Amino acid sequence: MDDPMIEARALRKAFGSTSVLAGVDLAVPRGGVLGLLGPNGAGKTTTVEVLSTLLRPDGGTATVAGHDVVREPDRVREAISLTGQYAAVDELLTGRENLRLMARLAHLPRAAGRARGDELLELFDLVAAADRLVRTYSGGMRRRLDLALGLLTRPAVLFLDEPTTGLDPRSRSDLWAVIRDVVAGGATVLLTTQYLDEADALADRVAVLDHGRVIAQGTAAELKSGVGAAHVELRLADGRTERVATDASVPDVRRILADVELRRLPVDSWRVAVPTLDDVFLTLTGRPAEAAPADAATLLTREAS
Amino acid sequence: MTTTALAPARATTRPPTGGWALRDTAAMIGRSLRRSLRTPDTLIMGIALPVILMLLFVYVFGGAIQTGQAAYVDYVVPGIILLCAGYGAATTAVSVASDMTGGLMNRFRTLPVRPVAALTGHVVESVVRNAVSTALVVGVAYLAGFRPTAGLGEWLAVAGLVLLYVLALTWTAVCIGMVSSGPEAANGFTFAIMFLPYVSSAFVPPESMPRVLQVVATYQPVTPVTDTVRAWLTGAPGGQPLVALAWCAGLLVVARLTAAWLFRRRAAR
Does the ipTM surpass 0.90?
no
HSE-up of residue A185 (Cα within 13 Å, Cβ side):
24
What pLDDT, on a 0 to 100 scale, did the predictor assign at position B89? 80
Distance of CA B94 to the CA centre of its chain: 12
Sign of the dihedral defined by the CA atoms of residues A265, A266, A269, A273, in that order: negative
- pLDDT of residue B2 exceeding 50, the answer is no
Q: What is the pLDDT of residues B219-235, one digit of tens each?
A: 888 889 999 998 898 88
Bridge-based pairing of strands A59-64 and A67-68 is: antiparallel
Find the mean pLDDT for residues B94-106: 83
pLDDT for A135-167, tens place per residue? 999 988 998 899 899 888 888 999 999 888 878
Q: Which pLDDT value is given to residue B267? A: 60
Q: Which residue of B has its CA nearest to A108?
A: B12
Between the alpha carbon of residue B191 and those of residues A198, A237, B47, B83, B108, the distances in Å are 47, 64, 17, 11, 30
**Which of A92, A121, A152 to mutate against chain B (most B CBs within 10 Å)?**
A92
> Of B142, B35, B22, which is closest to residue B94 (Cα–Cα)?
B35
What pLDDT, on the 0 to 100 scale, is given for residue A220? 78
How much is the average pLDDT of A40-63? 91
Q: Does A92 touch chain B (CB under 8 A)?
A: yes
- The closest CB to that of B8, out of A85, A133, A187, belongs to A187
Average pLDDT over residues A276-300: 55
- Weakest-pLDDT range from A2-11, B38-47, B242-251: B38-47
Beta bridge partners of A22: A12
| Among B40, B32, B30, B76, residue whose Cα is nearest residue B57 | B76
d(CA B29, CA A75): 26
Query: A149: closest CA among A134, A138, A132, A165?
Result: A134
The phi and psi torsions of A210 (rounded to 5 degrees) equal -145, 125
Query: Per CB distance under 8 Å, which residues of B are interface residues toward A?
Result: 2-9, 11-12, 14-15, 20, 23-24, 27-28, 30-31, 34-35, 38-39, 98, 102-104, 106-113, 267-269
Name, in order, each residue with C-beta under 8 angstroms of B63's C-beta and a sequence gap of 6 or more: B72
Residues of chain A contacting B104 with CB distance shorter than 8 Å: 88-90
Nearest to A282, CA basis, from A176, A203, A196, A205: A196
Q: For A16-20, B1-5, B152-156, B244-248, which range has the lowest pLDDT when averaged over its residues? A: B1-5
Which residue has better confidence, A285 or B59? B59
Q: Which residues pair with A81 in a beta bridge?
A: A158
Report strand pairing: A157-161 vs A188-193: parallel
Mutation target among A91, A101, A107 for the B interface, most CBs of B within 10 A: A107
Tell me the pLDDT of chain B averaged across its residues.
83
**DSSP H helical ranges for chain A:** 44-51, 73-79, 95-105, 110-123, 139-151, 169-184, 196-202, 220-227, 250-262, 277-285
Q: What's the pLDDT score for residue B9?
A: 65
What angle do the packed helices B241-267 and B152-179 form, to 10 degrees?
30
- Tens of pLDDT, residue by residue over A72-86, are 988 888 888 888 777
Instruction: Tell me the pLDDT band of A296, cut-offs 50, 70 and 90.
Output: very low
- Best to test chain B binding among A33, A81, A82, A105 (most B CBs inside 10 Å): A105
Distance from CA of B41 to the nearest CA of A (A): 13
What's the pLDDT tens digit per position in B15-58?
A: 445 677 888 899 999 999 999 888 888 788 877 888 888 888 88
Q: Which of A150-159, A273-282, B76-85 is predicted least confidently?
A: A273-282
Rounded to a whole number of angstroms, the distance from the CA of A73 to the nearest CA of chain B is 9
